[in-house]
Amino acid sequence: MRNLTLRQLEILGMLEATGSYTKAANQLHLTQSAVYLQVRKLEQEIGLPVTEQVGKKVYLTDAGAQVLRSGALIGTELENLKRSLEHLRDIEDGLLRISVTSTANAFAVELLSRFLNKHPRVKIHLNIANRKDVLAGLERNDVDMAIMGEPSPALDLVALPFHRNYLILVASSNHPLAWQKNIPQAEIVKEPFVLREPGSGTRETVLRYFSEQGLHIKEGVIMDSNESIKQAVTVGMGIGFLARHSVVVKIAAGYLRELSVEGFPLQRAWHLVHRKGKHLAPAPQAFKEFLLQHQYVRTIEEQGQIIN
């Protein structure tokens, strides 16, 4: 196996993806004869055919599929090597791969912008997703860290709280309950709720909270983004459950009203999360230190983007 090359593995993967020597050659900017030659060399190296022609389509043999699976492991190890070498680079040439739950998107982007002002050459790969997908990305090691609410304690993660997160109930400004004080929880659960999709952290939080009170809310419309929820609540489709910072503008403009409900707001925390044992390269380590310095969070509060 000493003569097996990464180029051969790349060609084999493209053959699986395209099912055609011609298409694989075009995708890899090679001649078809060059692709054939590399496949033949691979077959000579392992002593087994790696492709077969069935009709007009090329398929991998069992041997070819096994080689490709092993090649994927090699690729993962090489990617890990690349990331490990980032520790030897200067922070300004580094890469920060970060995932953010959609609820935290607004102020997380602000924090990243402030970080870039200090380190303008750092490259940032930002992924915005719901809680379930953020946790999956951490599990796959696709990202260095994440900003989110409270991750499951069952997962092998380091979760550092860095700021308070107030979760509130909102309604349209002309809702019958909009101006009432100390609304009983038993009354509020009679109203239809506009909720995030399954897998969302805010959805899980509100369902769990009312369940702990022995109450069950009426699930109305399901939305896949906070912006959609704000719009739906504004036009009177139901009660919304959102992070306060995400609706400050709508409340100030008079479109939404924070409801005065017993037990609310719920005080939670925003967390910086990464896997235990994760070796952070200079850029992610610098962002971690930056984020945990409360002076930057206070600056955002002063701008009215986070309300205490």
Q: Looking at residues 24-39, what average pLDDT do you find?
A: 92
Determine the pLDDT at residue 147: 93
223: its two tokens: 């939305």
Q: Looking at residues 25-48, what average pLDDT do you find?
A: 91
Tell me the C-alpha distance between 232 and 237, whole Å.
Answer: 5
Give 84 or 75, the one with higher predicted confidence. Answer: 75
Tell me the C-alpha distance between 26 and 42, whole Å.
Answer: 20
Tell me how crowded residue 47 is: count the other CB atoms within 10 A of its CB: 7
Determine the pLDDT at residue 194: 94
Q: Where are the domains of the chain?
A: 6-86, 88-163+270-302, 165-268
Length of the chain measured in residues: 308
Q: Do residues 65 and 72 touch, judged by C-beta distance below 8 A?
A: no
Query: Residue 122: CB partners within 8 Å, gap ≥ 6?
Result: 91, 92, 93, 94, 95, 96, 115, 116, 283, 286
Query: What is the CATH code for 88-163+270-302?
Result: 3.40.190.10
* pLDDT (tens digit per residue) in 98-119: 999 988 887 888 889 999 998 9
Determine the pLDDT at residue 307: 29
Asked, colleague to colleague, whether 88-163+270-302 and 165-268 share their fold, the answer is yes
**Relative orientation angle of helices 32-46 and 6-18, to the nearest 10 degrees:** 110
Percent of the chain with pLDDT over 70: 91
CB half-sphere exposure, 71, CA atoms < 13 A: 19
Tell me the C-alpha distance between 33 and 20, whole Å.
Answer: 13
Give 268 or 177, the one with higher predicted confidence. Answer: 177
Q: Which overall architecture, per CATH, does domain 165-268 show?
A: 3-Layer(aba) Sandwich (3.40)
Closest CA relative to residue 172, chosen from 148, 191, 151, 198: 191
CATH class of the domain whose range is 6-86: mainly alpha
Element (H, E) at 132: helix 131-139
Determine the pLDDT at residue 88: 55
* pLDDT (tens digit per residue) in 215-231: 999 888 999 888 899 99
